[in-house]
Amino acid sequence: MAKKKFVVGCFDDEDLLFPAVKKVRTVGYKIHDIYTPFPVHGLDHAMGLRETSLHTAGFIYGITGTTTALSCISWILTKDWPLNIGGKPHFALPAWIPITFELTVLFAAVGMVLTFCYLCQLAPFVKKHRFHLRATDDLFVMVIECTDKTNTDDLKSFLSNAGAVETDLQIAEADWWVGSYDKEDVPFENTNEIAA
């Protein structure tokens, strides 16, 4: 839990955003994140984000499900409580395949959703700092992480030159914390932030 210094630049056009991202990266500033009202195609490539490993996690959850299902059913139906079902052998593999499949899908799906929420820092009762409320409406909000040596005024004017309609210096918590939006601040009643 550490507070960090951020410079926030808001763009009102996605065509301006892409060249700006390129410029910011060429100069060497560190982009913390970009908040957009809708998924912008190709922005992850422009930002240089690495390919997600969510699918690898999904594969591992999947084979965990397969193993769980097969080992459970085979232990129960051959060792723990063998039953004669329609004269079939106790180790009746074809009959177990549907259950194995379902459990594989269940483990993979639930595991991936939870992992996704963790990676995006989403959960009930937790709060993340919002850099600009209009990021959910019509602004593309680029957040740049500053170090001790960053000249924030230079950075602000740099962003303005790159096409930002609004720039801002914020000292904010970078991670998530337990809290609630309702109590601490109410969206769209904060007149300061809405005035653009």
Partner 1 sequence: MASIKEQFEIPSKLKTWSYALIAVGALALLAGLFKSGMSNDEHKQAIFIGTIMYNTIFWTLVCNASMFFICITTLAMGGWQQSFRRVPEAISTMVPIFGSITLVVLLYVAFSGKHQIYHWLDTDAVNNDPILKGKSGFLNLKFFVFWTTLAIGLWTVLGYRMRKLSSEADNGAFDNVSGAKFIFKNTVGASMFIAWFGLTVGSTIPWLWMMSITPHWYSTMYSWYTFMSSFVSGMSLIALWVVYLKNKGYLEYTNQEHLHDLGKFMFAFSIFWTYLWFSQYMLIWYANIPEETVYFKTRVQGAYKGIFFFNLIINFLCPLLILMKRDAKRNYTLITFMGVLILFGHWIDFYQMVMGSISKDQVTLGWLDFGILSLFVGLMILFVAKALASKPVIAKYHPFLKESIIHHT
Minimum separation from the CB atom of position 40 to partner 1 (A)? 14
Give whichever of 97 and 122 is closer to partner 1, judged by the CB atom.
Answer: 97
**Should residue 39 be labelled a site residue for partner 1 when binding is judged by CB under 8 A?**
no
| Helical axes 152-161 vs 14-27, angle rounded to 10° | 140
Asked if 94 touches partner 1 (CB under 8 A), the answer is: yes
Query: Does 46 engage in binding with partner 1 (CB under 8 A)?
Result: no
Q: How far is the CB of 98 from partner 1 (least distance, A)?
A: 8
Give me the amino acid identity at 170: Q
Q: Contacts with partner 1 in 52-91 (CB under 8 A)?
A: 55, 59, 86-87
Contact 90, 77 (CB under 8 A): yes
Closest approach, Cβ 94 to partner 1, in A, equals: 5
Q: Tell me how far the alpha carbon of residue 124 is from its chain's centroid.
A: 15
